[in-house]
């Protein structure tokens, strides 16, 4: 008979030993317990019940019978399910094993041996550098410089989204120069360089557009100033015209008066009076 409780399995087998003079009933209990490390520990218990005594003091033994054994095993599906509940391997373990194991083809040409645990993180970048220039460097510095180059590459990737329109062009040029240095170590910098060049191109176009806009604004401001000056001159001319018009009217009035006076002076009344007076006898 099999009983299961939790992660323990109990096999109970009823064995009757015919050779036993007491006809004892022997119960064997086997407990199977799964430990935390996945190994199974078995523990057997044997229990032999004593013969029952009747009230008159005589001992009654159970009748001998053909031995039977009933064993119920746990289904394999449950075992598989139980094994699937075990904690999965941490992804970092696989990275550590990959880093500590046989290096890949492109890493076999590296001029140093990977020893730093930092590789488990920085190798997430899909890059296959060869670090050939590090062969000219002191061997003690090679791995550290290689890690520094990979971290620099990662920083450049993250910096792409941090660039602002008002950033100086020198910042973009510095990043492009850094990419050229990384390229000598075998890094694939094509996509990043292309993005940086696009950003620089857009920034240059916007800078030129801004310069043109300022130039147009200056010209427009100059035109507005000239217009104001012309309008001011027009107003001054209008005022002069009004003054001149007034003078013209005054002169016209004077002309009229003088013409009337001249007309009156040109009459022959005085001449006639003179002639009359001269011809009049004394």
User: What is the pTM for the complete model shown?
Assistant: 0.42
* Averaged pLDDT, 228-241: 95
The pLDDT of residue 142 is 86
66-106 confidence digits (pLDDT tens):
444 444 443 333 333 333 333 334 333 333 333 444 455 55
Radius of gyration of the chain (CA): 59
Residues 6+ positions from 192 with CB-CB distance below 8 Å:
156, 157, 160, 179
Contact partners, residue 68, CB within 8 Å, separation at least 6: 14, 16
pLDDT tens-place string over residues 102-157? 455 555 566 666 556 666 655 666 777 888 888 887 888 888 888 888 888 888 88
Which among 126, 129, 156 has a CA at the least distance from the CA of 145? 129
User: What's the count of helices (H) and strands (E) in the chain, helices before strands?
Assistant: 7, 6
Q: For residue 153, what are the contacts with CB-CB under 8 A and spacing of at least 6?
A: 125, 127, 182, 187, 189
Q: Are 41 and 33 in contact (CB under 8 A)?
A: yes
For 3-16, what is each residue's pLDDT tens digit?
A: 444 444 444 444 44
**Percent of the residues in the chain that have a pLDDT greater than 70, as a whole number:** 55
């Amino acid at each position: 008979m099999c009983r299961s409780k939790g992660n323990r399995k109990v096999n109970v087998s009823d064995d009757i030993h015919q050779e036993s003079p007491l006809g004892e009933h022997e119960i064997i209990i086997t407990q199977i317990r799964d430990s935390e490390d996945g190994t199974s520990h078995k523990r057997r218990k044997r229990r032999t019940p004593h013969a029952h005594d009747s009230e008159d003091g005589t001992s009654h033994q159970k009748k001998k019978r053909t031995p039977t054994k009933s064993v119920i095993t746990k289904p394999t599906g449950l075992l598989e399910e139980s094994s699937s509940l075990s904690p999965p391997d941490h992804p970092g373990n696989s990275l550590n094993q990959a880093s500590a194991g046989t290096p890949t083809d492109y890493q076999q040409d590296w001029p140093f041996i990977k020893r730093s645990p930092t590789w488990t993180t920085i190798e997430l970048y899909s890059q296959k550098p060869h670090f050939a220039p590090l062969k000219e460097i002191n061997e003690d510095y090679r791995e550290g410089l290689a890690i520094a180059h990979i971290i620099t590459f990662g920083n450049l990737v993250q910096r792409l989204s941090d660039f602002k329109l008002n950033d100086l062009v020198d910042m973009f040029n510095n990043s492009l120069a850094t990419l050229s240095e990384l390229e000598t170590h075998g890094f694939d910098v094509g996509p990043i360089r292309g993005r940086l060049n696009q950003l620089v191109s857009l920034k240059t176009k916007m800078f030129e557009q801004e310069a043109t806009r300022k130039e147009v604004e200056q010209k427009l401001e100059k035109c507005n100033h000239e217009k104001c000056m012309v309008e001011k001159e027009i107003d001054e001319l209008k005022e002069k015209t009004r003054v001149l018009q007034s003078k013209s009217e005054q002169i016209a009035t004077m002309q009229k008066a003088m013409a009337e006076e001249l007309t009156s002076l040109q009459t022959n009344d005085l001449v006639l009076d003179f002639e009359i007076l001269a011809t009049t006898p004394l």
